[in-house]
Amino acid sequence: MICDKKHSSDEEQEDLPLSYARKAVEIEPYTMTYRAYYCSLLLKRGKYQELVAVLQEGLTFCPHWAEGFYIWARLLKKQKNWQEALEKIRKAVNLSPAIMKYRNQLVRLLLRNRKYLEAIGVACSHPRKKFAALAFILANGKWSRKR
């Protein structure tokens, strides 16, 4: 069987998931699951300006979109904007306190900002992960009695 289509390059194949995700958000702009996936792809590919626009639009549609604040915090962390990242991840944790990946990111940012007591408080505030999180912080040398 002869195919009329030319084989696309690896770059075009790499952008295929991004274009599909973009199209899904265009068709269903209020579906935050599609938007979160699209934002994650933009973050991985380093398309930060487009990511911020998509996040702002999503948070306009749904101001209680915790995943949007989480992704935005990850972007700010990549840009080494620690204070704003901390503010965004705090919003995510306040909106969805049971989601462990939000709490873990908050703990990491608190440790990065040398807020050790607050990091331990956040780590211990979730009953299922109380001792494991505290042990993680102590075992990794992030806590010192000298401070």
Predicted local distance difference test score (pLDDT) of residue 137 = 62
Whether the Cβ atoms of residue 14 and residue 47 lie closer than 8 Å to each other: no
Predicted local distance difference test score (pLDDT) of residue 4 = 44
Question: What does the alpha-carbon distance between residue 10 and residue 1 come to, in Å, rounded to a whole number?
Answer: 23
Whether the Cβ atoms of residue 103 and residue 93 lie closer than 8 Å to each other: yes
Question: What does the alpha-carbon distance between residue 137 and residue 111 come to, in Å, rounded to a whole number?
Answer: 9
C-beta neighbour count of 59 within 10 angstroms: 17
Provide the terminal-to-terminal Cα distance of the chain, rounded to the nearest Å.
72
Predicted local distance difference test score (pLDDT) of residue 2 = 47
Task: Report pTM.
Answer: 0.78
Question: What does the alpha-carbon distance between residue 2 and residue 126 come to, in Å, rounded to a whole number?
Answer: 60
Question: What does the alpha-carbon distance between residue 49 and residue 43 come to, in Å, rounded to a whole number?
Answer: 10
Q: Could you give the 3-state DSSP secondary structure of residue 119?
A: helix
Predicted local distance difference test score (pLDDT) of residue 147 = 44
Q: Could you give the 3-state DSSP secondary structure of residue 68?
A: helix
Predicted local distance difference test score (pLDDT) of residue 93 = 94
Range(s) for CATH 1.25.40 in the chain?
10-63
Write a three-state SS string for 71-85: HHHHHHHHCCCHHHH
Predicted local distance difference test score (pLDDT) of residue 3 = 44
Query: Do you know the residue count of the chain?
Result: 147
Domain 10-63 has CATH 1.25.40: yes
- Along the chain (147 residues), what's the average pLDDT of each consecutive run of 10 residues? 48 76 93 95 95 96 96 96 96 92 90 86 72 60 51
